[in-house]
């Protein structure tokens, strides 16, 4: 009984109860939505200090610039290759979409959406801000990461004594944030119940007719990416049991599903990796915040399939060179996708424009996205957690090798 009542199990049971409540008691689900909103607010409350402090500590705690650049390189290689593999999986799944996949969907049925597209130049510039306080008050995660990196790197250049006092201060702050996260997690079962119930109650299931093939292809592609791609990466590069790993990180998976936000899941992911998976804090604190903002493998798969599917709706024939173009477009788009619910909307609009898909189709996107966002977010988060574990394992084994 005690085991059954463990927090993760309870969270899982509450997610299922939420599903039942949303399906059969939609009115009740709407009344109870306050608990879910409160849970997200509490998670958001700790995100900014968590991101700033953890990125700062991850850099300032490195013993040398050499260690830091090794961690940076490994992270970049992992992010780029896992996103590329995700896109390829999306393309392969897209090959199996039958010509009739979109039968029955008429574009006039959907409300036109007005979009601003984001150019590569704007995307790069959006990483920086002239006013650090504005980035903090607006909760612009990517700008906060860049700011923390600058301050962390500069700290490595000041006297050892001053560096230590700064690190000690932020270390204490980090402990405080971790204690608050453990308190928030106590109410996770109620929050997850309420979030799942509210989403299920608000979903108009009849609108999904005609999308069966798209849904099937997306589900299979996401499944393959988690169980085959991450499974192989974890097994061959990280040398750990990938499925046991998936079981250990289940709390982060549930929170990702319930919140549909990589950023909101970050506090839970960090705790799970450091406490359960025993990953060194300097790796987790560096890779996870970056992953929650940049590495979106689920979004890459989903966006690739969406482009193929929507292009089919409009009658655009995608040849091989166009596939390569879309591949790079989606890579950039997934890096620019914000780790918030529906974060892909800004970027997918730009991709549609570049491919020649009318922006009116964003209405259809918004409809489908409600359903897919939790699953896509879950894959985004799982990708970051696998990456953190693989990179940490690699660095530890190299260090052990060097000391023998
Ligand atoms: N909701 C996703 C996330 O937070 C991003 C997306 O919309 O693709 O990871």
**Ligand 1 atom nearest to 260, measured from its CA:** 1
Report d(CA 59, CA 157) in Å as an integer.
12
- Find the residues whose C-beta lies inside 6 A of ligand 1: 260-262, 296, 299, 337, 339-344, 373, 376-377, 380
Q: Cα-Cα-Cα-Cα dihedral of 337, 284, 238, 68, to 10°?
A: 90
**Ligand 1 atom nearest to 265, measured from its CA:** 4
- Going from the Cα of 368 to the center of ligand 1, the distance in angstroms, rounded, reads 13
- Going from the Cα of 175 to the center of ligand 1, the distance in angstroms, rounded, reads 28
- Going from the Cα of 58 to the center of ligand 1, the distance in angstroms, rounded, reads 24
Task: Choose one of 335, 380, 382 to mutate for the ligand 1 pocket test, by most ligand atoms within 8 angstroms of C-beta.
Answer: 380
**Ligand 1 atom nearest to 342, measured from its CA:** 7
Report d(CA 280, CA 259) in Å as an integer.
26
The dihedral built from the CA positions of residue 340, 342, 346 and 348, taken in this order, carries a sign that is positive
- Going from the Cα of 298 to the center of ligand 1, the distance in angstroms, rounded, reads 8
**Ligand 1 atom nearest to 380, measured from its CA:** 9
- Alpha carbon 286 to its chain centroid, in Å, reads 15
- Going from the Cα of 290 to the center of ligand 1, the distance in angstroms, rounded, reads 14
- Going from the Cα of 153 to the center of ligand 1, the distance in angstroms, rounded, reads 29
Task: Choose one of 90, 340, 350 to mutate for the ligand 1 pocket test, by most ligand atoms within 8 angstroms of C-beta.
Answer: 340
Dmax over CA atoms of the chain, in Å, equals 69
Report d(CA 110, CA 396) in Å as an integer.
52
Which residue has the least CA distance to atom 3 on ligand 1?
339
Task: Choose one of 82, 261, 362, 377 to mutate for the ligand 1 pocket test, by most ligand atoms within 8 angstroms of C-beta.
Answer: 377
Q: Within a 13 Å sphere around the CA of 96, how many CA atoms are in the beta-carbon half?
A: 14
Report d(CA 117, CA 350) in Å as an integer.
4
Report d(CA 329, CA 379) in Å as an integer.
20
- Going from the Cα of 317 to the center of ligand 1, the distance in angstroms, rounded, reads 28
Collapse the DSSP code of 303 into the 3-class scheme (helix H, G, I; strand E, B; otherwise coil) and give the result: helix
Q: How many CB atoms lie within 10 A of CB 245?
A: 20
Q: What is the pTM of this model?
A: 0.80
Q: Cα-Cα-Cα-Cα dihedral of 39, 385, 368, 357, to 10°?
A: 130
φ/ψ of 61, rounded to 5, equals -85, -5
The dihedral built from the CA positions of residue 263, 116, 123 and 336, taken in this order, carries a sign that is positive
Task: Read off the tokens for 6.
Answer: 């463990």
Whole-number pLDDT of residue 15: 84
Task: Choose one of 43, 87, 298, 372 to mutate for the ligand 1 pocket test, by most ligand atoms within 8 angstroms of C-beta.
Answer: 298
Whole-number pLDDT of residue 103: 47
Report d(CA 22, CA 25) in Å as an integer.
6
Whole-number pLDDT of residue 359: 74
Helix (H) or strand (E) holding 56: helix 33-60
**Ligand 1 atom nearest to 341, measured from its CA:** 1
CA distances to 115, 295, 321, 337, 363 from 109, in Å: 18, 34, 32, 27, 9
CA distances to 187, 217, 252, 313, 314 from 103, in Å: 44, 15, 37, 8, 12
φ/ψ of 124, rounded to 5, equals -65, -45
Task: Choose one of 343, 374, 381, 382 to mutate for the ligand 1 pocket test, by most ligand atoms within 8 angstroms of C-beta.
Answer: 343
pLDDT tens across the length of the chain (404 residues):
555 556 667 888 888 898 899 889 989 988 988 998 898 888 888 888 888 988 898 888 777 778 788 899 999 999 999 999 999 999 999 988 776 555 445 444 444 444 445 567 777 888 898 999 998 888 787 788 889 989 998 998 898 899 999 999 998 998 898 889 889 888 888 988 998 888 788 766 665 666 788 889 999 999 999 999 999 999 999 999 999 999 999 999 999 999 999 999 999 999 999 999 999 998 999 999 999 988 999 999 999 999 998 888 778 888 888 888 889 888 888 887 888 888 887 778 778 877 888 877 776 777 788 789 999 999 999 999 999 999 999 999 888 887 77
Q: In terms of residues, how long is the chain? A: 404
Q: Within a 13 Å sphere around the CA of 174, how many CA atoms are in the beta-carbon half?
A: 21
- Going from the Cα of 332 to the center of ligand 1, the distance in angstroms, rounded, reads 14
Report d(CA 251, CA 102) in Å as an integer.
36
**Ligand 1 atom nearest to 373, measured from its CA:** 1
- Going from the Cα of 14 to the center of ligand 1, the distance in angstroms, rounded, reads 23
φ/ψ of 111, rounded to 5, equals -65, 135
Whole-number pLDDT of residue 112: 40
């Amino acid at each position: 009984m005690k085991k059954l009542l463990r927090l993760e199990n309870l969270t899982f049971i509450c997610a299922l109860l939420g599903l039942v409540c949303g399906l059969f008691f939609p009115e009740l689900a709407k009344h109870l939505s306050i608990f879910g909103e409160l849970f997200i607010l509490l998670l958001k409350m700790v995100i900014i200090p968590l991101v700033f402090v953890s990125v700062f500590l991850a850099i300032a705690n490195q013993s040398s610039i050499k260690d830091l650049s090794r961690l940076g390189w490994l992270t970049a290689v992992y992010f780029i290759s896992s996103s590329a593999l995700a896109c390829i999986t999306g393309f392969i799944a897209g090959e199996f979409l039958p010509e009739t996949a979109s039968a029955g969907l008429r574009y006039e049925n959907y409300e036109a959406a007005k979009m601003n597209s984001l150019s590569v130049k704007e995307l790069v510039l959006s990483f920086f801000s002239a006013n650090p306080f504005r980035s903090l008050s607006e909760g612009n995660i990517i700008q906060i990461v860049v700011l923390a990196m600058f301050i962390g790197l500069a700290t490595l250049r000041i006297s050892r004594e001053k560096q230590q006092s700064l690190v000690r201060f932020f270390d204490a702050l980090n402990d405080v944030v971790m204690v608050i996260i453990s308190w928030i997690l106590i109410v996770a079962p109620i929050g997850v119940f309420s979030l799942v119930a509210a989403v299920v109650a608000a979903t108009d299931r009849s609108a999904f007719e005609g999308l069966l093939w798209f849904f099937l292809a997306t589900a299979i592609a996401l499944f393959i990416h988690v169980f085959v791609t991450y499974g192989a990466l974890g097994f061959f590069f990280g040398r750990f049991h990938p499925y046991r790993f998936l079981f250990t990180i289940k709390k982060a998976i549930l929170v990702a599903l319930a919140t549909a936000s990589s950023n909101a899941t970050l506090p839970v992911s960090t705790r799970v990796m450091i406490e359960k998976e025993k990953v060194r804090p300097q790796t987790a604190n560096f890779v996870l915040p970056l992953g929650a903002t940049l590495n979106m493998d689920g979004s890459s798969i989903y966006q690739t399939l969406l482009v193929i599917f929507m292009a089919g709706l409009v009658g655009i024939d995608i040849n091989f060179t166009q596939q390569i173009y879309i591949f790079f477009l989606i890579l950039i788009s997934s890096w620019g996708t914000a780790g918030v619910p529906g974060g892909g909307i800004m970027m997918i609009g730009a991709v549609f424009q570049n491919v020649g898909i009318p922006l009116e189709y964003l209405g259809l996107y918004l409809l489908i996205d409600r359903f897919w966002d939790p699953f896509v977010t879950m894959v985004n988060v799982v990708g970051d957690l696998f990456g953190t574990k693989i990179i940490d394992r690699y660095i530890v084994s190299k260090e052990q090798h060097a000391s023998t």
